[in-house]
């Protein structure tokens, strides 16, 4: 997906409120919403349906907001399981009209807020990404600060304090109508089992505006850490602070935890937060091991599970379709994790993919004689094929035999199917909010 490159032209005499509702800005906002895709909200209207009468829809939205007859629609609550299998994460899906307004606000206020953010913040900011955050973490560890204060915020987006957020925005936005509009959006409510539940705290994960607002909230933490002279890297609510000694790390954890809970009105997840050497801490799916970057054990484990999910046993899905599915996922996964300085980690995933595909090929031969014939046809000697197949070996064991690997070598996957990607190829991927959420 190509990101739409559009710029707004601001007129000095126009207020922020008027700029947000400018017809050109609203059109850009819709194009961004469309590019992000996404499901419809509680009204069931899709992006395509909204676009059919776009001019009329945008004019109506502008009139409603200008006259203050606009009322945000409650978001549709969707609970998605966390990758570790423990609990769920709440996502909210606003209707398209609301999403357009959220994006229109973001387009106008982001250029004002962006220069005020910390250089140590990398999440959901133009020109910044996870790779840069991990590289900076590596640099800090190399400098001698190998102990990490790994802070995990419990249900961060659900616990954002509205009053504190608006107060922070006031320091940079002097148009009270914009602040009032953002306040209305924050209090739009959630529809759960057909019942509207008010939102007295939190910001909807799923709104185009939420990532920016989250940075406004956590910039207060950034400024506190900078004032204390601490080195840190933050990506959204994932924050690592670095220290030279374990004792110093423990002191930082105690004082920062108090600041977060007392001042920011947020909660630190005791179970997931810890102080440890960098090689015992995962940051954005990576681990700093002796000043080198490696894929974390947790991320590797999740990848193995994903491969199992995409190439299940006992399915009639054609091998070409299975390859297409796994390749679609692996392109994105490998393009991010290629920053590892241990290529064997990528090769282990690729080997696992190939073995599961070989197992699928074996399982699709309903009778042993069919598998023998398949192997012979693929260049395996008759005796070797028979000695391999006519045993008590099950499918998984057969997939790792010399005969099956000779019939379907690594080269067959890359050349014949031209699909499975190997780790030394160049990959490009735009890592958006949705992908980050799935990884954490």
For position 426, what pLDDT does the model report? 33
Q: Based on C-alpha coordinates, what's the Rg of the chain?
A: 26
For position 31, what pLDDT does the model report? 97
For position 254, what pLDDT does the model report? 96
For residue 274, the SS3 value is strand
**How far is the C-alpha of 294 from the C-alpha of 287, rounded, in Å?**
5
Section 196-217 average pLDDT = 91
12 burial via Cβ count (<10 Å: 0-12, 13-18, 19+) = exposed
Structure token digits, residue 42: 């509680």
For position 197, what pLDDT does the model report? 84
For position 364, what pLDDT does the model report? 87
Do the Cβ atoms of 172 and 113 come closer than 8 Å? Answer: yes
pLDDT band at 421 (very low <50, low <70, confident <90, very high): very low
* 192 strand-pairing partners: 195
200 burial via Cβ count (<10 Å: 0-12, 13-18, 19+) = exposed
Q: For residue 289, give the H/E element and its range.
A: strand 286-289
- Which residue in the block uniquely carries the two structure tokens 């204390």? 228
pTM over 0.85: no
Check residues 328 and 83 and name the one with the higher pLDDT: 328
Flag whether pLDDT at 221 surpasses 60: yes
The shares of helix, strand and coil residues in the chain, as percent rounded to the nearest 5, are: 50, 10, 35
Flag whether pLDDT at 12 surpasses 60: no
Q: What are phi and psi of 143, to 5 degrees?
A: -75, -5
Flag whether pLDDT at 9 surpasses 50: no
Flag whether pLDDT at 4 surpasses 60: no
Q: SS in 3 state form for 12-26?
A: CCCCHHHHHCCHHHH
List, for residues 31-64, the tens digit of each pLDDT value.
999 999 889 999 999 999 999 999 999 999 999 9
Residue environment code for 376-410, b if the CB has 16+ CB neighbours within 10 A, otherwise e: bebebeeebbbebbeeeeebeebbebebbbbbbbe
Flag whether pLDDT at 135 surpasses 90: yes
- Which residue in the block uniquely carries the two structure tokens 């801490």? 281
pLDDT band at 416 (very low <50, low <70, confident <90, very high): low
For position 327, what pLDDT does the model report? 87
Conformational region of residue 385, where left means phi above 0, alpha means psi within -120 to 50, and beta covers everything else: alpha
Section 309-314 average pLDDT = 83
Percent of the chain whose pLDDT exceeds 90: 73
Q: What is the mean pLDDT of the chain?
A: 88
């Amino acid at each position: 997906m190509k990101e739409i490159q559009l710029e707004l032209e601001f007129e000095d005499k126009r207020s922020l409120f008027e700029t947000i509702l400018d017809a050109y800005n609203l059109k850009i906002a819709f194009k961004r919403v469309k590019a992000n895709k996404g499901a419809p909200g509680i009204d069931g209207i899709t992006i395509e349906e909204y676009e059919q009468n776009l001019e009329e829809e945008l004019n109506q939205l502008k009139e409603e907001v200008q006259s203050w007859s606009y009322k945000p629609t409650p978001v549709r609550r969707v609970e998605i399981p966390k990758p570790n299998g423990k609990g769920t994460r709440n996502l909210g899906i606003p209707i398209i009209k609301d999403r357009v307004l959220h994006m229109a606000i973001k387009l106008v206020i982001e250029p004002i807020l962006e220069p005020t953010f910390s250089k140590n913040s990398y999440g959901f900011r133009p020109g910044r990404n996870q790779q840069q955050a991990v590289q900076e973490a590596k640099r800090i560890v190399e400098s001698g600060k190998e102990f990490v204060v790994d802070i995990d915020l419990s249900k961060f987006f659900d616990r954002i304090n509205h009053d504190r957020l608006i107060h922070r925005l006031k320091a940079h936005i002097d148009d009270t109508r914009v602040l009032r509009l953002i306040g209305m959006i924050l209090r739009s409510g959630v529809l759960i089992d057909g019942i509207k539940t008010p939102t007295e705290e939190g910001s909807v994960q799923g709104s185009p505006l939420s990532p920016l607002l989250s940075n406004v909230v956590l910039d207060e933490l950034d400024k506190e850490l900078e004032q204390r002279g601490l080195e840190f890297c933050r990506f959204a609510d994932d924050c690592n602070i670095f220290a030279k000694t374990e004792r110093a790390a423990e002191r930082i954890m105690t004082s920062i935890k108090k600041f977060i809970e007392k001042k920011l009105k947020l909660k630190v997840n005791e179970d997931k937060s810890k102080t440890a050497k960098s090689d015992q801490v995962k940051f954005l799916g990576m681990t700093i091991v002796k000043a080198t970057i490696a894929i974390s054990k947790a991320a590797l484990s999740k990848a193995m599970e994903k491969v199992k999910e995409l190439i299940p046993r006992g399915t009639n899905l054609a091998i070409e379709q299975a390859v297409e599915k796994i390749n679609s996922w692996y392109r994105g996964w490998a393009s991010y994790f290629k920053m590892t300085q241990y290529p064997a980690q990528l090769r282990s995933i690729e080997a696992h993919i190939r073995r599961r595909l070989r197992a699928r090929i074996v399982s699709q031969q309903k009778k042993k004689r069919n598998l023998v014939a398949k192997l012979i046809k693929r260049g395996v000697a008759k005796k070797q094929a028979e000695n391999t197949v006519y045993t008590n070996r099950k499918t998984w064991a057969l997939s790792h035999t010399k005969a099956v690997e000779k019939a379907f070598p690594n080269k067959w996957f890359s050349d014949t199917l031209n699909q499975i990607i190997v780790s030394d190829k160049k990959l490009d991927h735009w890592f958006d909010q949705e992908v980050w959420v799935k990884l954490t």
